[in-house]
Amino acid sequence: MTMLKEGRPTAPAPVPMHDAHMAPATATGNRALMLEEALIFEIGSIDTTGVDFADAPQVASRLGGLARRAPIGLPGLSEQETVRHYTRLSRQNYAIDLGLFPLGSCTMKHNPRLNEKVARMPGFADLHPLSPQSTTQGALAVIHELAQWLITLTGMHSVAMSPKAGAHGELCGLLAIRAALEARGDARSVVLVPESAHGTNPATAAFCGYKVEDIPATPEGRVDLAALEARLGPDVAAVMITNPNTCGLFERDMKKIADAVHAAGALVYCDGANFNAIVGRVRPGDLGVDAMHINLHKTFSTPHGGGGPGSGPVVLSEALAPFAPLPFVEKQGDQFVLIEEETAGDHHAGTFGRMVAFHGQMGMFTRALAYILSHGADGLRQVAGDAVLNANYILRSLDDVLDAPFGASGPCMHEALFSDKGLAEGFTTLDIAKGLIDEGFHPMTMYFPLVVHGAMLVEPTETESKAALDQFIMALRSLAERAKAGDEALKGAPYHAPRRRLDETLAARKPVLTWSESALAQVAE
């Protein structure tokens, strides 16, 4: 047998150097394995379906004036086309399973697969909320055990498990505060909120009918205790404090703040969004907190990418426990009982009512309890320590190239905060964020908190390795140096993303929200 001995080049031929974003366009729009995908309206047809249905029987409509008068116009695809469409779109997503997710104040950390396995166990995953309590004792036991852990970890008296997430938990806490004040005949009108607080804090207070007033911060980024004490009076119902705060700092005067608020006859609400930084190390109840929501989807690692699902149990002090919402789980002998309106009786007659149709988020409860039990008390303490260590590693690795407005205030907690101070003329936080996309990272939280100009809020969480942190630091350092040097190419980033940078003002003011068969509308028209 004769071997073919005709040679062929095995090395790439030399070509003129191009920037990656100047590479030749492809006929298909695809870029190697990154496949371009059109809208489903552009690739489907109303005459196509992946499933055949028998003709529906002809019966008189009972929809009245609600009957559809024209075809809905949804396109149909074959099964293969459908799978390819959504698979291609999914490859344009960023997720915690792909890389570090540095969103400050969000705690986007790894979700252990053990949690997912537990949540999908028969008996948890297939429960119906209207199942008889005699058939759901295991589920009620899970809720009760998780509740006891939350009470123990926070040093509080009781917990409302039903709130669905953070802002819902804030509402629960303020409604309990309002109910307690009204019960003693002392309805008040003002809630004080630090100027660095998350926007849901003042929004929730306003929703509850309170007038909202700001509490100023000190130059080091913490609540101004003197200004707070000066404003307290008989009209103040509550103070809403985030601790650790949104500047990434622990409120060292928290006990003094709580004592002053209580002396004025008001109550203390703590935004527990950042509990991840202190879990197992600080009990908010010991600091005088009366109500605090806990984001299970943050501290206790339940999935929250894409907006949910979330869960925001609210721990309550002894003063607020009688006013907690229904329903809740109570252990009576060797049975677990769901206390609702018809079973509340005299022992919970002061409840402010019901917030949800059913009892919270069962899938989140099972995941959170699995997380807690797998870590144990010592493991949860290490969670907080590692989260703080990682954030300080980022802060001190970058504060020579990025302005850290509160870097001199001592160690940060769970997140590192930078500003746009020192960037070249015309360069902004947005340019650095878009550059991070090219580097393979989801951008950090931008322009929040509002007390810092051009804020960049980075939360690495405790689950990232040093190698992952070093790569992120390298990327952010490179971008900071380019922005300080005035590299004009940065203003065009991202170059490697499926879509280039939008005109964000026009996209917000003139969004194209619908598809039509005519030529695609231009945002800038």
Q: Mark whether 398 and 263 lie in a shared domain.
A: no
What pLDDT sits at residue 12?
59
DSSP state, residue 323: G
On whether residue 18 sits in a domain, the answer given is: no
Q: Is residue 382 part of a domain?
A: yes
pLDDT, tens only, 28-56? 888 888 888 999 988 888 887 777 888 88
User: Are both 217 and 120 inside the same structural domain?
Assistant: yes
Is residue 518 a part of any domain in this protein?
no
Residue 307 and residue 400 in one domain: no
Helix %, strand %, coil % of the chain (to 5): 40, 10, 50
Same domain? 329 vs 399: no
| 306 and 209 housed in the same domain | yes
> pLDDT band at residue 500, thresholds of 50, 70 and 90?
confident
Position 524 pLDDT exceeds 50: no
CATH number for the domain harbouring residue 330: 3.40.640.10
Categorize the per-residue pLDDT at 109 as very low, low, confident or very high, splitting at 50, 70 and 90: very high
Give me the mean pLDDT over the 399-414 stretch. Answer: 96
3-state secondary structure of 34: strand
Of 345, 370, 395, which closes a domain? Answer: 370
Query: Which are the contacts of 15, defined by CB distance < 8 A and separation ≥ 6?
Result: none
278 and 401 in a single domain? The answer is: no
The pLDDT tens digits for 237-272 are 999 999 999 999 999 999 999 999 999 999 999 999
User: How far is Cα 327 from Cα 247, in angstroms, rounded to an integer?
Assistant: 35
CATH number at residue 440: 3.90.1150.10
Same domain, 353 and 271: yes
Cβ neighbour number for residue 77 with a 10 Å cutoff: 18
Average pLDDT over residues 125-140: 91
pLDDT per residue over 318-339, tens digit each?
Answer: 999 999 999 999 999 999 999 9
Q: Is the pLDDT of residue 517 over 80?
A: no
Residues 136 and 274 in one domain: yes
Mean pLDDT of 99-126: 91
Share of the chain above pLDDT 70, in %: 93
At residue 360, the pLDDT reads 77
C-beta neighbour count of 498 within 10 angstroms: 15
Do 331 and 441 reside in the same domain of the chain?
no
- Burial pattern 15-34, b for ≥16 Cβ within 10 A else e, equals eeeeeeeeeeeeeeeeeeee
Angle at 486 between CA 481 and CA 487, to 5 degrees: 80
Q: Provide the strand spans (E) within 376-423.
A: 416-418
Q: Look at residue 132 and tell me if it is in a domain.
A: yes
The answer to whether position 69 is within a domain reads no
Q: Mean pLDDT check: name the lowest of 5-9, 408-412, 419-423, 511-515.
A: 5-9
Structure tokens at 137: 């004792």
| 17 inside domain | no
CA 445 to chain centre: 11
CB-facing half-sphere around the CA of 514: CA atoms within 13 A: 5
Binning pLDDT at 50, 70 and 90, where does residue 525 land? Answer: very low
Mean pLDDT of the chain: 91
In a domain, 60, yes or no: no
Asked whether residue 170 falls in the same domain as residue 268, the answer is yes
The answer, yes or no, to whether residue 444 has pLDDT greater than 60, is yes
The band of 308, judged by pLDDT with boundaries at 50, 70 and 90, is low
Note whether 396 and 327 are same-domain residues. Answer: no
In the structure, what pLDDT confidence band is assigned to residue 518 with cuts at 50, 70 and 90?
A: low
pLDDT at 304: 72
- Tally of structural domains, the chain: 2
**34 within 8 A of 498, measured Cβ to Cβ:** yes
- Among 370, 395, 424, the domain-final residue is 370
521 vs 393, more confident: 393
Q: Is residue 98 part of a domain?
A: no
CB 146, CB 371: distance < 8 Å: no
- Widest pairwise Cα distance in the chain: 103
Instruction: For residues 180 and 253, state if they share a domain.
Output: yes
User: Over the stretch 150-179, which tens digit does the pLDDT of each residue have?
Assistant: 999 999 999 999 999 889 999 999 999 999
CA 270, CA 252: separation in Å to the nearest integer? 14
Band (453; pLDDT cuts 50, 70, 90)? very high
**Predicted confidence band of residue 520 (pLDDT cuts 50, 70, 90):** very low
Torsional class of 359: left (φ above 0), alpha (ψ -120 to 50), beta (otherwise): beta
Distance, CA of 237 to CA of 288 (rounded, Å): 15
Q: What is the mean pLDDT of residues 8-17?
A: 58
Domain with 190, as residue range(s), is 114-370
Q: How confident is the model over 339-366, as pLDDT tens digits?
A: 999 888 888 999 999 999 888 788 999 9
Which range among 57-61, 250-254, 264-268, 428-432 shows the weakest confidence by mean pLDDT? 57-61
Residue 521's pLDDT band (boundaries 50, 70, 90)? Answer: very low
- 519 pLDDT higher than 80: no
